[in-house]
A and B are shown apart, each in its own frame.
Chain A
């Protein structure tokens, strides 16, 4: 419902936060709209209806300041826990697999370091718009751009990271199920922004390895 089915270790955590916030904001939504409707109906001007002369009430005002503040504090703490887990560099899991994404108008250049584990050597494996990731293993993704700002967005992973020229960024992701998903550019990057589409294929590690070899052989 509402959100596409998740496919990374991030997804359940982000979705859980989403649902918690939806329940809390949903409660306040109905509370406020309900009061609004009720008061308008109940205190509608009629013959003999006289308004009360009230300037406020300190206790009530303190209560409706403090309670939302506490709820927001709790939400901040819950969000921070997930945020640190998925984004703080020191929390990143050791990733044996690396991939580099170099965005340009209007394509995703994907590069794997090959058997030597180093980028910029002859055994690098390159593709365009085709990102393959193994299931069940954290992968380090280095994101760069060569022209304008793009944004790497895979809805099923719940991942979005801008690709900023001059500012290499590093994220990690761990796929949880095999499948094929779309990479949608999420930052306006020019007239071809709408068609800056790529694909992620998540597959068991053995399939991933053989895809790498096949791709290298076809280069």
Chain B
């Protein structure tokens, strides 16, 4: 890092740029959620300082319904498009792929830099809505037309949202091309596919999903943009009457958007979880001092999840007016995708079994990932069942489910990854003490915010509701919502502890050696931080990625560059 250049094409610099930028966006997106929680905890109560920040959205500090809709829309959009995807895929994909496959850099370093430099402008375009007439996009991160497609119902902010996400889509596609090319063509001699770390299998599958699905989203967004700006009717049927005015649109179909959107966005859920699964699969063996249990099953289940993940999109649309028979086929594919997910969880348990477990901060986050992701996975089964979904769809049960997957899963996975690879990235160790405090409080407060969502959902509380006390049947949830909000504020505060640890340790942390965790994969054979070009000489791989506690070996870990006594 000594010669840090802003416009570098070094994959490590780009990875760290993605990391810092996406973490900043997550702080912003989290802040939006805090305002949402304020309104849910104390509906209609003024928040004085917000008057100055958002005079139109919170006049006198009291939130108006439009502003609430903007907040949850932008929370979802920022967290998914500018937080989790660039963090898991952009930051770790860039940083880890060349190091782990034994390459000096990505296949296309300039394209890689372009991929990063399209990301902040995309975010600025999307967020500019907050400063424009009518405010930011407010049709949900799913942006269903006609609500999102009409000038009459959504202002210029929605147009900017659409345009910005298109830009981001291209950034993702460029990244994906690079990942695929690098993994296929730039592996060191001896690094066969079956010697790749699971995180690389996950990144490869993720990149294929991104490459195949994102263009569909981009097309849908372009059509939506045309509907909004040029008056076309791709998603707008005839006969619309808004505010007493009959509109001239004709011939479009509202459901077409949902098919195209979810054709991308369901694979996107796997784009957001597979890398985290990959990190956990690297971290568990390291701190169990044991080979991963069922390498092939874990590797190929990632591929299976990716493949089946393309056939489940319409399970978001069981109650959307589709033919019910189509609901049946998507219920079947959705149940199928649970099988490889289960295989992974059992294999991780098998990895822990008879290990010698070191409870470091990254290991705690990896265990937290398993513990929380299982809740996200199991609650998905309720939603896969079409009749049960008829009740649960669009209630807080879904909100709880998705937060257990994307926070409990993706974010704990990201924390595991950051705390695990931080020493490699910056050459210094994070504080274990602060790391553990951060983990435990995040874990407890996360559950205190998200678990009650299942109770709210089962009680019939719809999501995206500005003031649920409108409904007599939901008023009794006021106390519970207040507790959730308090826990949410605590959860947010905890992340500043993480930020402090991150930046303090970057300069003041204990020096890390090349291999502080006594791990086996190639990134641990080079200095921390690795020099430009990564490896000082030719790399040859002699064994699999998780050769821990090999009988007869002199240490309890065997680097991939070493010959094992025994093993694959």
Contact = CB atoms under 8 A, between A and B. Distances in A.
Contacts of A185: 462
B288 A51 contact: yes
A104 B293 contact: no
Interface stretch (A93-101, A132-140, A188-196, A209-217): A188-196
B465 interface: yes
Contact of B144 (A57, A73, A86, A149): A149
A121 interface: no
Contacts of B391: 3, 14, 18, 155, 158, 160
A105 B327 contact: no
A167 B147 contact: no
Interface stretch (B8-16, B107-115, B381-389, B506-514): B381-389
B291 A88 contact: no
B338 interface: yes
A136 B468 CA distance: 31
A82 B370 contact: no
Given A104-B241, A105-B242, A147-B242, A55 B291 contact: yes
A9 to B, nearest CB: 12
B464 A32 contact: no
Nearest to B386: A83
B188 interface: no
Interface string B455-496: 100111010111110111100000000000000000000000
Contact of B458 (A3, A52, A73, A79): A3
Interface stretch (B30-38, B272-280, B352-360): B352-360
B295 A56 contact: yes
A107 interface: no
A51 B354 contact: yes
A188 B551 CA distance: 60
Interface stretch (A60-68, A110-118, A123-131): A60-68
Contact of B293 (A18, A21, A55, A182): A55
A interface, over-half SS: mixed
A14 B390 contact: yes
Contacts of A88: 324-325
Interface residues of A, number: 85
A109 to B, nearest CB: 12
A174 to B, nearest CB: 15
B150 to A, nearest CB: 8
Q: Looking at B253, B367, B464, which has the most chain A CB atoms within 10 Å of its CB?
A: B464
Contacts of A55: 291-295, 568
Interface in B274-310: 288-297
Contact of B350 (A10, A60, A73, A162): A60
Given A169-B321, A190-B147, A194-B466, A21 B352 contact: no
Nearest to B252: A166
A72 interface: yes
A17 B359 contact: no
B254 A166 contact: yes
Nearest to A73: B335
Nearest to A40: B357
Interface string A1-34: 0111000001001100110011011001100110
A186 B293 contact: no
Contacts of B150: 148
Contact of B239 (A4, A83, A105, A166): A166
Interface in B321-373: 321, 324-325, 327-328, 331-332, 335-336, 338-339, 342-343, 345-347, 349-350, 352-359, 367, 370-371
Contact of B355 (A43, A155, A166): A43
Interface centre among A3, A151, A164 (most CB of B within 10 A): A164
B396 to A, nearest CB: 11
A32 B349 contact: yes
A83 B331 contact: yes
The listed residue with most A CB atoms (<10 A of its CB), out of B150, B386, B468, B472, is B386
B394 interface: yes
Contacts of A53: 290-291, 548-551
A40 B352 contact: yes
Given A18-B388, A32-B345, A72-B335, A160 B393 contact: yes
Nearest first, the 5 A-B pairs at minimum CB distance are A166-B237, A155-B460, A87-B324, A25-B378, A194-B466
